[in-house]
Protein backbone atom coordinates (compact mmCIF):
# COMPACT_ATOMS: atom_id res chain seq x y z
CA UNK A 1 0.00 0.00 0.00
CA UNK A 2 1.50 3.32 -1.08
CA UNK A 3 2.80 5.60 1.56
CA UNK A 4 0.47 8.47 0.82
CA UNK A 5 -2.61 6.35 1.36
CA UNK A 6 -1.32 4.86 4.61
CA UNK A 7 -0.49 8.31 5.83
CA UNK A 8 -3.97 9.54 5.08
CA UNK A 9 -5.47 6.65 7.04
CA UNK A 10 -3.29 7.50 9.97
CA UNK A 11 -4.21 11.15 9.88
CA UNK A 12 -7.88 10.27 9.62
CA UNK A 13 -7.60 8.05 12.66
CA UNK A 14 -5.58 10.65 14.52
CA UNK A 15 -8.01 13.48 13.80
CA UNK A 16 -10.87 11.38 15.01
CA UNK A 17 -9.10 10.27 18.14
CA UNK A 18 -7.63 13.64 19.05
CA UNK A 19 -10.93 15.31 18.31
CA UNK A 20 -12.89 13.02 20.55
CA UNK A 21 -10.48 12.24 23.36
CA UNK A 22 -8.26 15.30 23.39
CA UNK A 23 -4.55 15.51 22.81
CA UNK A 24 -3.34 14.05 26.07
CA UNK A 25 -6.04 11.45 26.51
CA UNK A 26 -5.59 10.09 23.00
CA UNK A 27 -3.08 7.27 23.01
CA UNK A 28 -0.85 6.29 20.15
CA UNK A 29 -2.08 2.76 20.65
CA UNK A 30 -5.64 3.74 19.97
CA UNK A 31 -4.69 5.75 16.92
CA UNK A 32 -2.61 2.94 15.46
CA UNK A 33 -5.43 0.49 16.12
CA UNK A 34 -8.02 2.71 14.52
CA UNK A 35 -5.77 3.22 11.51
CA UNK A 36 -5.29 -0.51 11.23
CA UNK A 37 -1.50 -0.39 11.38
CA UNK A 38 1.15 -1.16 13.93
CA UNK A 39 2.49 1.51 16.19
CA UNK A 40 6.04 1.55 14.87
CA UNK A 41 4.66 2.38 11.47
CA UNK A 42 2.97 5.45 12.82
CA UNK A 43 6.30 6.54 14.24
CA UNK A 44 8.08 5.73 11.02
CA UNK A 45 5.76 7.96 9.06
CA UNK A 46 4.97 10.68 11.52
CA UNK A 47 7.84 10.75 14.00
CA UNK A 48 6.13 11.51 17.27
CA UNK A 49 2.84 12.27 18.91
CA UNK A 50 3.63 15.94 18.72
CA UNK A 51 4.39 15.83 15.03
CA UNK A 52 1.34 13.75 14.40
CA UNK A 53 -0.87 16.24 16.16
CA UNK A 54 0.77 19.10 14.31
CA UNK A 55 0.13 17.33 11.04
CA UNK A 56 -3.52 16.96 11.99
CA UNK A 57 -3.82 20.61 12.82
CA UNK A 58 -2.20 21.64 9.57
CA UNK A 59 -4.35 19.40 7.46
CA UNK A 60 -7.56 20.49 9.11
CA UNK A 61 -6.58 24.14 9.02
CA UNK A 62 -5.89 23.96 5.33
CA UNK A 63 -9.12 22.10 4.66
CA UNK A 64 -11.07 24.78 6.52
CA UNK A 65 -9.43 27.77 4.89
CA UNK A 66 -9.75 26.11 1.49
CA UNK A 67 -13.45 25.52 2.07
CA UNK A 68 -14.01 29.13 3.01
CA UNK A 69 -11.91 30.43 0.11
CA UNK A 70 -13.76 28.29 -2.35
CA UNK A 71 -17.11 29.34 -0.96
CA UNK A 72 -16.52 33.02 -1.62
CA UNK A 73 -16.87 34.76 -4.99
CA UNK A 74 -14.33 37.59 -4.83
CA UNK A 75 -16.14 40.07 -7.07
CA UNK A 76 -19.17 40.49 -4.88
CA UNK A 77 -19.68 43.35 -2.42
CA UNK A 78 -18.07 42.92 0.96
CA UNK A 79 -21.19 41.95 2.87
CA UNK A 80 -22.06 39.31 0.31
CA UNK A 81 -18.56 37.91 0.47
CA UNK A 82 -18.83 37.75 4.22
CA UNK A 83 -22.15 36.03 3.92
CA UNK A 84 -20.76 33.40 1.64
CA UNK A 85 -17.66 32.90 3.74
CA UNK A 86 -19.75 32.40 6.82
CA UNK A 87 -21.95 29.87 5.09
CA UNK A 88 -18.94 27.93 3.95
CA UNK A 89 -17.44 28.13 7.41
CA UNK A 90 -20.51 26.86 9.24
CA UNK A 91 -21.04 24.22 6.63
CA UNK A 92 -17.52 22.88 6.83
CA UNK A 93 -17.32 22.84 10.62
CA UNK A 94 -20.66 21.08 10.85
CA UNK A 95 -19.39 18.39 8.54
CA UNK A 96 -16.03 17.99 10.23
CA UNK A 97 -16.75 18.13 13.91
CA UNK A 98 -13.55 16.31 14.90
CA UNK A 99 -11.39 18.55 12.78
CA UNK A 100 -13.12 21.58 14.16
CA UNK A 101 -12.70 20.33 17.71
CA UNK A 102 -9.00 20.01 17.06
CA UNK A 103 -8.68 23.51 15.71
CA UNK A 104 -11.03 25.28 18.05
CA UNK A 105 -10.43 23.42 21.30
CA UNK A 106 -7.53 21.03 21.40
CA UNK A 107 -4.85 22.95 19.57
CA UNK A 108 -5.41 26.12 21.56
CA UNK A 109 -5.59 24.31 24.83
CA UNK A 110 -2.34 22.41 24.63
CA UNK A 111 0.30 25.03 24.55
CA UNK A 112 2.93 26.33 22.35
CA UNK A 113 3.84 24.10 19.51
CA UNK A 114 0.18 23.76 18.60
CA UNK A 115 -1.37 27.06 19.48
CA UNK A 116 1.04 28.73 17.08
CA UNK A 117 -0.01 26.41 14.29
CA UNK A 118 -3.67 27.26 14.64
CA UNK A 119 -2.93 30.93 15.16
CA UNK A 120 -1.46 31.03 11.68
CA UNK A 121 -4.73 29.83 10.23
CA UNK A 122 -6.76 32.11 12.40
CA UNK A 123 -4.71 35.06 11.30
CA UNK A 124 -5.35 34.17 7.72
CA UNK A 125 -9.06 34.26 8.33
CA UNK A 126 -8.83 37.41 10.38
CA UNK A 127 -6.84 38.98 7.55
CA UNK A 128 -9.54 37.98 5.09
CA UNK A 129 -12.18 39.61 7.24
CA UNK A 130 -10.01 42.65 7.79
CA UNK A 131 -9.66 43.05 4.04
CA UNK A 132 -13.40 42.79 3.63
CA UNK A 133 -13.95 45.53 6.14
CA UNK A 134 -11.41 47.75 4.39
CA UNK A 135 -13.06 47.11 1.05
CA UNK A 136 -16.44 47.93 2.47
CA UNK A 137 -15.08 51.14 3.89
CA UNK A 138 -13.62 52.10 0.51
CA UNK A 139 -16.86 51.25 -1.27
CA UNK A 140 -18.65 53.49 1.16
CA UNK A 141 -16.22 56.17 0.06
CA UNK A 142 -15.05 56.59 3.59
CA UNK A 143 -11.52 57.24 4.57
CA UNK A 144 -10.43 54.40 6.71
CA UNK A 145 -10.77 56.54 9.75
CA UNK A 146 -11.22 53.33 11.61
CA UNK A 147 -7.69 52.80 12.89
CA UNK A 148 -5.81 49.62 11.92
CA UNK A 149 -5.90 48.41 15.41
CA UNK A 150 -9.62 48.83 15.78
CA UNK A 151 -10.22 46.94 12.57
CA UNK A 152 -8.12 44.04 13.83
CA UNK A 153 -10.20 43.94 16.97
CA UNK A 154 -13.42 43.93 14.99
CA UNK A 155 -12.22 41.08 12.83
CA UNK A 156 -11.14 39.18 15.90
CA UNK A 157 -14.53 39.67 17.46
CA UNK A 158 -16.30 38.60 14.30
CA UNK A 159 -14.30 35.43 14.03
CA UNK A 160 -14.83 34.68 17.70
CA UNK A 161 -18.55 35.16 17.32
CA UNK A 162 -18.60 32.83 14.37
CA UNK A 163 -16.63 30.20 16.22
CA UNK A 164 -18.97 30.41 19.10
CA UNK A 165 -22.00 30.12 16.85
CA UNK A 166 -20.47 27.11 15.16
CA UNK A 167 -20.33 25.26 18.46
CA UNK A 168 -23.83 26.42 19.28
CA UNK A 169 -25.26 25.41 15.93
CA UNK A 170 -23.55 22.02 16.08
CA UNK A 171 -24.95 21.39 19.53
CA UNK A 172 -28.43 22.86 19.14
CA UNK A 173 -30.18 20.47 16.81
CA UNK A 174 -32.00 21.95 13.91
CA UNK A 175 -29.87 25.01 13.30
CA UNK A 176 -28.61 24.88 9.74
CA UNK A 177 -25.42 26.42 8.46
CA UNK A 178 -27.57 28.93 6.60
CA UNK A 179 -29.44 30.00 9.70
CA UNK A 180 -26.24 30.36 11.65
CA UNK A 181 -24.79 32.51 8.89
CA UNK A 182 -27.91 34.67 8.83
CA UNK A 183 -27.70 35.24 12.56
CA UNK A 184 -24.07 36.20 12.18
CA UNK A 185 -24.85 38.73 9.46
CA UNK A 186 -27.58 40.31 11.49
CA UNK A 187 -25.32 40.50 14.44
CA UNK A 188 -22.17 41.64 12.75
CA UNK A 189 -23.39 43.75 9.89
CA UNK A 190 -26.59 45.27 11.03
CA UNK A 191 -25.62 45.46 14.69
CA UNK A 192 -27.89 45.17 17.65
CA UNK A 193 -28.70 48.87 17.52
CA UNK A 194 -30.12 48.61 14.03
CA UNK A 195 -31.91 45.41 14.84
CA UNK A 196 -33.68 47.27 17.60
CA UNK A 197 -34.91 49.77 15.10
CA UNK A 198 -36.20 47.07 12.82
CA UNK A 199 -33.38 47.17 10.31
CA UNK A 200 -31.81 43.81 9.81
CA UNK A 201 -29.35 42.65 7.22
CA UNK A 202 -30.85 40.83 4.31
CA UNK A 203 -29.40 38.70 1.61
CA UNK A 204 -31.55 40.40 -1.00
CA UNK A 205 -29.77 43.71 -1.16
- Assess 28 for contact with a copy of itself (CB under 8 A): no
Which 93-132 positions form the footprint of a copy of itself (CB under 8 A)? 105-106, 108-111
| Comparison of 8 and 47: residue with beta carbon closer to a copy of itself | 47
- The distance of closest approach from Cβ of residue 97 to DNA in the complex, given in angstroms and rounded to an integer, is 22
Distance CA 18, CA 28 (A): 10
51/54 Cα distance (integer angstroms): 5
Q: Compute and round to an integer the Cα radius of gyration of the chain.
A: 19
Name the helix (H) or strand (E) containing 58.
helix 49-71
Q: Cα dist. 197→180, 188, 201, 205 in Å?
A: 22, 15, 12, 18
Report d(CA 85, CA 172) in Å as an integer: 21
Smaller CB separation from DNA, 58 or 80: 58
Calculate the alpha carbon distances from 130 to 16, 27, 48, 53 in Å. Answer: 32, 39, 36, 29
Find the binding residues for DNA in span 15-54 (CB under 7 A).
24-29, 37-41, 43-44, 48-50
Contacts with a copy of itself: how many residues (CB under 8 A)? 54
Closest approach, Cβ 8 to a copy of itself, in A, equals 25
Q: Which of 8, 199 has the CB closer to DNA?
A: 8
Residues 34, 154: Cα–Cα separation, whole Å:
42
Q: How far is the CB of 57 from a copy of itself (least distance, A)?
A: 14
- Tell me how crowded residue 198 is: count the other CB atoms within 10 A of its CB: 6
Binds 137: which of DNA, a copy of itself, none (CB < 5-8 Å by kind): a copy of itself
Query: Which of a copy of itself, DNA, none does residue 162 bind (CB under 5 to 8 Å by kind)?
Result: a copy of itself
Enumerate binding residues for a copy of itself (CB under 8 A): 21-25, 79, 105-106, 108-111, 133, 136-137, 140, 142, 145-146, 149-150, 153-154, 156-165, 167-168, 175, 179-180, 183-184, 186-198, 201
Amino acid sequence: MPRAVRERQMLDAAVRTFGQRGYRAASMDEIADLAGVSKPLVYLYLNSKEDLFTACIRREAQALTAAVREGVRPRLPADRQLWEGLRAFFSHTAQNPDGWAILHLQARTHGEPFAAEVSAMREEIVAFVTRLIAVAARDARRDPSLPEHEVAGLAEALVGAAESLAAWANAATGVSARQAAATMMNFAWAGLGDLMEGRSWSEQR
